[in-house]
Structure 1
């Protein structure tokens, strides 16, 4: 079960990352809070591209480096925590972005973030049968 969950998580990360780099790139700029670019030497498009690249790398690492899966799972969970401020920003501002056109969708997205963190940690935990 954990193996299937890991593969699904890896696929989700790669597809999300690709969307950041291509078809949804413009829409994701809305999610980046102003304070991020006010305090970093990068613009909103750079944040979107960087986060997309990180998602692709994490997804690829999850399947390509099986001996490091626990460490990679922790990195994925940390990434999901790090981008949470963008989800809060989008919910508070009510700005539409890809797949987040309504206040309800934006609110549900907030509730989904802890699920993603738990998914990353659970799916990369060592199998008990292996010990």
Structure 2
């Protein structure tokens, strides 16, 4: 039996329930955010696209919305693939971080973020989304178990 199997065998249902709820909540949030990119918050998301991005702002908003819908759906539906999906979701949160930094640096108001303090607080939460994706999908635990076994 490998270390991963022995750790998996010891995990209790109570221990995995918070991760399951975390994964489902994150998936639902991404799905809603993606839908809002394409509908009622489309203009607001324009503030997230840095001026240096060499693509049409609306195209970036639409593509990121589609990505969020796909990632949210994957988190909700692909339990067997949760670890790789977790890494992709975490990478997505890292990839969109420059948009949040741009909004802070340029002092662009959007989503009720109308002060440096509110935009700064939002920046502080972005790394927590990365950690949430890795924790809720067992991606971090799987990576650590693989390193221990090597």
Q: Is TM (by shorter chain) over 0.5?
A: yes
Distance 1:22 1:95 in 2: 21
The corresponding residue for 2:6 is none
Q: Residue in 1 aligned with 2:42?
A: 25
Answering whether residue 67 of structure 2 is matched by residue 54 of structure 1, we say: yes
Structure 1, unaligned runs of 5 or more: none
Aligned Cα root-mean-square deviation (Å): 1.5
Task: Determine which structure has more spread, i.e. the larger CA radius of gyration.
Answer: 2
Structure 2 Cα separation of the partners of residues 14 and 111 of structure 1? 22
1:94 aligned to 2:101? Answer: no
Tell whether 2:81 aligns with 1:68.
yes
* 1:98 Cα deviation after fit: 1.7
Q: Which runs of 5+ in 2 are unaligned?
A: 1-17, 143-150
Q: How many residues align?
A: 124
- Equivalent residues in 2 for 1:1-131 (5 A)? 1-37=18-54, 42-125=55-138
- Between the aligned partners of 1:15 and 1:95, the Cα distance in structure 2 is 23
User: What SS is found at the alignment partner of 2:53?
Assistant: helix
In structure 2, C-alpha distance between the alignment counterparts of 1:118 and 1:85, rounded to whole Å? 17
Query: SS in structure 2 opposite 1:34?
Result: coil
Write the deviation string for residues 73-125 of structure 1: whole angstroms up to 9, x where unpaired.
Answer: 00000000000000000000111112322222110110000000000000000
Distance in 1, matches of 2:81 and 2:109, equals 37
Comparing 92-101 with 64-73, which one deviates more in the overlay?
92-101
Query: How far apart, CA to CA, are the structure 2 residues paired with 1:124 and 1:90?
Result: 29
Query: Does the aligned pair in 1 maintain the 2:28–2:76 contact within 8 Å?
Result: no
